[in-house]
A and B are shown apart, each in its own frame.
Chain A
Amino acid sequence: MHKTQTTVIGGGLLGMATAYGLARLGQKVCVLDEGDTAFRASRGNFGLLWVQGKGYGMAPYARWTRQAVALWPELASLLLAETGIDVQLRQSGGFQLCLSEAELAEEVRRLQWLKDELGDYPFEVLRNAQLSQRLPGVGPAVVGACYSPMDGDVNPLKLLRALHQACQLQGVHLLSGDKVMGIEAGDNGFVVTAGEQQVRSEQLVLAAGLGNRELGAHLGHAIPLQPSRGQILVTERVEPFLSHPTSTVRQTDEGTVQLGDSAESVGFDDGTSTAVMADIADRAVRSFPRLGNVRLVRAWGALRVLTPDGFPIYQSLSKAPGAYLLSCHSGVTLAAIHALRLAPWIAGKIALPEVAAFALDRFNFAPEVRHAG
């Protein structure tokens, strides 16, 4: 049996950012990751560090997200120094393009609510004419846009790779390929079983994406998570034409253009569908007509990990002292705060009163269902 201080279940962005943060504090950490047959949002996402609009209806989440992007430069430079991998952090601000007056009005309403709650909340509303000067190439179908200097993007696959490499350099033990099927909680901590492997630890972190539903149940907790499918299209490599990310079209550092931002409730089906792909492509071409004859080379579906209100869960589990449940959408945006604040909180090194807003028991009182982008 392998013995360690903390076992993290899940090798996605949330699990690896947390494992990295714990290892930096000197903890002995073991990560168990199921492998390629699991649903893995960290390998299928859009790569945005998105702030504008996040936390509408829940100001603490808006503050948490802003704090997260403020920490991002520190994470990016740590990863670069330790692994040599440049995750292509770009905090240039981002545009939410609106293709109708109604879309624009709704976006402005949400951002205004956030500004009223937070006080300092920079954004600009641009009509098409001004927008064309700031973002050359936008089409006449774009009525306007909201710009926020808080937004940005990274290369999410380089991020995942950098976290894996940094963890290994910090001595994190990574066991991949087996699904955790059993957790025993006893007086001396936890014993986790995955395939032939058994790991004993004092602390346990559940960061298994959609797999947290099943793992929470092992410890007597119902975890309200649902999949929400997003489809993404990727084009051939083209010369740089887009200086800023938008929430639907983003050019990567290597020249491809990602198109996306669909949301469907289709259960655990991570495939693609022609109708949704056609919609995404149509919206992208109306946003940037120059994309009209660019080739698509890949498309995929991936499942978001969504709570009923769309906000994260960070919970020390009452029925299993020493175990933490972590679930979030926007694990790219939040990676820096997970590594540099949430992990120290789990390690007992810092107080983090902010996390009280993300407790599991909020769902006992407010079972409202909405999609939080």
Chain B
Amino acid sequence: MPADSLFIQLPTDSPCVMIEFEGQPLAVPSGISVAAALLASGIRQTRRTAVSGAPRAPYCMMGVCFECLVEVNGVPNCQACMVTVSDGLKVRRQQGARALNALAEEGAHDGI
């Protein structure tokens, strides 16, 4: 999955945590956002848009543009730049619009 990253990871003392992207394990520094972790790992596409299906990746990195939407631990449409990585976090691409029923019974938004 990881390819050459366009970003250079500055030296850091932070310990690594393990997250998963589309089922592949990634070792990333703790304390950074999911969006930063994905970009630093060389991932070029993190979602497809709901309107045209175009591939997209994180852009503003500050919660404004909604380009970084991913599924985090089964919760759709999470802004990857607003979620901090933690051990075991499972991230998937947001493929278009989310389904409405997916979470109806669980009310699973609270965890994020």
Query: Smallest CB-CB separation from B98: which chain A residue?
Result: A238
A236 beta carbon closer than 8 Å to chain B: yes
| Stretch with Cβ within 8 A of B (4 or more), from A215-223, A290-298, A301-309 | A290-298
Asked if B99 and A255 make an inter-chain contact with CB atoms under 8 angstroms apart, the answer reads no
8 A Cβ contacts from A233-258 to B: 236-241, 254-255
Interchain nearest-CB distance for B105 vs A (Å): 9
B101 at interface by CB-CB < 8 Å: yes
Contact flag A238-B109 (CB < 8 Å), given A255-B50, A293-B104, A295-B77: no
Contact size range, A: 10 to 19
Is the pair B66, A297 in contact by a Cβ cutoff of 8 Å? yes
Let me know if B98 and A237 touch, CB within 8 A.
yes
B15 within 8 A of A: no
Q: How many A-B residue pairs have CB under 8 A?
A: 40
B103 to chain A, nearest CB (A): 5
A239 and B100 CA atoms in complex are apart in Å by 6
CB pair B103–A239 under 8 Å, yes or no, is: no
Q: Which residues of B contact A290 (CB under 8 A)?
A: 100-101, 104
Closest-CB distance, B108 to chain A (whole angstroms): 7
Residue ID in chain A nearest B51 by CB atoms: A254
A282 to chain B, nearest CB (A): 16
B23 within 8 A of A: no
Give every chain A residue within 8 A of B101 (Cβ-Cβ): 290
Distance of A297 Cα from B78 Cα, bound (Å): 11
A249–chain B nearest beta-carbon distance, Å: 12
Q: Mark B23-64, 1 if CB is under 8 A from A, else 0.
A: 000000000000000000000000000110000000000000
Determine how close the nearest CB of chain B comes to the CB of A271; give it in whole angstroms.
Answer: 20
Choice from A238, A289, A292, A297 contacting B99 with Cβ under 8 Å: A238
A239 to B94, CA, bound (A): 12
Give residues 7-34 of B contacting A (CB, 8 Å): none
Contacting pair B50 A254 (CB below 8 A):
yes
Check B108–A239 contact: CB distance below 8 A. Answer: no
A239 and B107 contacting across the interface, CB-CB below 8 Å: no
- In chain B, what residue has the closest Cβ to A291? B100
Which residues of chain B are near A255, meaning CB under 8 Å? 50-51, 97
Are B103 and A293 neighbours in the complex by a CB distance under 8 Å? yes
Q: How far is the CA of A341 from the CA of B77 in the complex (A)?
A: 45
> Known: A255-B50, A293-B109, A297-B66. Contact between A237 and B77, CB under 8 A?
yes
* B106 neighbours in A (Cβ, 8 Å): 293
Most buried by B among A237, A240, A255, A291: A237
Which of A's residues lie within 8 Å of B, judged by CB? Answer: 236-241, 254-255, 289-295, 297
- Residues in B lying within 8 Å of A, measured CB to CB: 50-51, 66, 77, 96-101, 103-104, 106-109
Can you name 5 A-B residue pairings with CB atoms under 8 Å?
A237-B51, A239-B97, A254-B50, A290-B104, A293-B109
Contacts A236-B77, A238-B99 supplied; 11 other A-B pairs, CB < 8 Å? A239-B97, A239-B98, A239-B100, A241-B100, A254-B50, A290-B101, A292-B107, A293-B104, A293-B109, A294-B100, A295-B109
